[in-house]
A = this chain, B = another copy of it.
Amino acid sequence: MRHSLVASVFALLSLGAGAGAAHAEDALRDRAKGLFEPIPQSAPALPGNPATPEKVALGKMLYFEPRLSDRRDMACATCHNLSMSGVDGGLLSGGHNAQLAGREVLTVLNAVFNKSQYWDGRTADLQDQVVNSVMANPKAVLKTRGGPMAINPAELAATKQREIEQLKTIPYYVEAFKKAFPGEADPLVYDNIGRAIAVFEATLITPDSPFDRWLTGDDAALDSTQKAGLALFIDKGCAGCHNGVNVGGASYAKFGVVANPGPEHLPPEDAGRYAVTRNKADRYVFKVPSLRNVEMTAPYFHTGSTFDLKKAVAVMAEAQLGQKLSDDEATTIVAFLKTLTGKQPEIVLPVLPPRDN
């Protein structure tokens, strides 16, 4: 296997460890700091939805609560599996009655840092995403704070009324909503389900990745190959879209800017954000996904069309940047991408309360 020039340079530099090596390291870090930010150590505040321990605890229970679904068999945690870095690891994400949702599930980890939610960005924040996913109903057009929106009929096919009724049969929840939303006359209402789950989801962040530790000054957190991979990731142009705190998640891009990646990865019937905006310029435009924990979130693309991260990198380089990567270059970029795996949230499974008997 051919060694990339960049990797060789870094390997030599780390042997040398003199002023030149230190300078190269600082220069790379300066470039990286202009493009990326580390994941913070604690959950960010949500505007208009302050976190309290009671609300976070309730949100965690609701996140695992299958009685939020019509058949009582799906929870947020079903597809956003916290053992699997917040995805389902499936070929295509299943929903109510095993309908295929048509797009691969996006991770809930660090989702609070994304500028919008879903592959087509159809909700602005976590609270609306919860509302959209839980309420999904083939017959409904849902009004959110951001206006009416398209609904994925394949998700948890519950109706507002049924869900509230189910929760009200469980005495623990009646009390827990009172504590989480003090002073409200009728706290067990639909919007508060969204608020509680959103504050819990805001805690699902993955700080302390090797990349973040390096970015904040720990030279030894990355090895020479990983540093070479970072340099390539920037030089090849990947960081043009995959940047910011989530190394993505901050913008939209057409899939196939330079070359169509083919129907396996980009089936013509899913025009992406166009379905939301009806703007022709948005045909085949998707949210740039975060690459945080990407080694854990296979399969890749909105189609889940490959489990092979190196192949995904190669496809993206060709489709978006018009570059054919060598096998060594793709391997080196993957070595960098694996350094984006942070400390996974430690989740003690909640014990869900029984209904009244």
Contact = CB atoms under 8 A, between A and B. Distances in A.
Nearest to A331: B357
Interface string A296-309: 10100000000111
Contact of A88 (B73, B90, B98): B73
A51 to B, nearest CB: 21
Given A66-B89, A94-B73, A310 B357 contact: yes
A216 to B, nearest CB: 23
B338 A344 contact: no
A352 B84 contact: yes
The A interface is mostly helix, strand or loop, or mixed, namely loop
Contacts of A78: 78
A66 B200 CA distance: 24
Contacts of A308: 357
A295 interface: yes
Nearest to A69: B90
Contacts of A295: 354, 357
Nearest to A96: B98
A17 interface: no
A23 interface: no
Interface string A9-47: 000000000000000000000000000000000000000
Nearest to A61: B83
Nearest to A348: B348
A334 B352 contact: no
A350 interface: yes
A347 interface: yes
Query: Which residue, of A348, A350, A351, has the highest number of chain B Cβ atoms within 10 A?
Result: A351
Contacts of A72: 88-91
A338 B352 contact: no
A94 B298 CA distance: 25
Given A307-B355, A354-B296, A357-B334, A84 B71 contact: no
A97 interface: yes
A352 B83 contact: yes
Given A89-B67, A98-B97, A334-B357, A350 B73 contact: no
Contacts of A66: 81, 84, 88-90
Contacts of A354: 295-296, 298
Contact of A64 (B64, B83, B348, B355): B83
Contacts of A346: 348-349
Contacts of A296: 354
A82 interface: yes
B71 A91 contact: yes
Contact of A71 (B73, B90, B351): B90
Interface string A190-222: 000000000000000000000000000000000
Interface in A74-127: 78, 81-85, 88-91, 94, 97-98
22 contacts: A64-B83, A66-B90, A67-B89, A71-B90, A71-B91, A73-B88, A73-B91, A78-B78, A83-B349, A83-B350, A83-B352, A98-B98, A295-B357, A298-B354, A298-B357, A307-B355, A334-B357, A344-B351, A347-B348, A348-B348, A348-B349, A349-B349
Closest CB pairs A-B (n = 7) = A98-B98, A309-B357, A73-B90, A347-B349, A344-B351, A295-B354, A64-B83
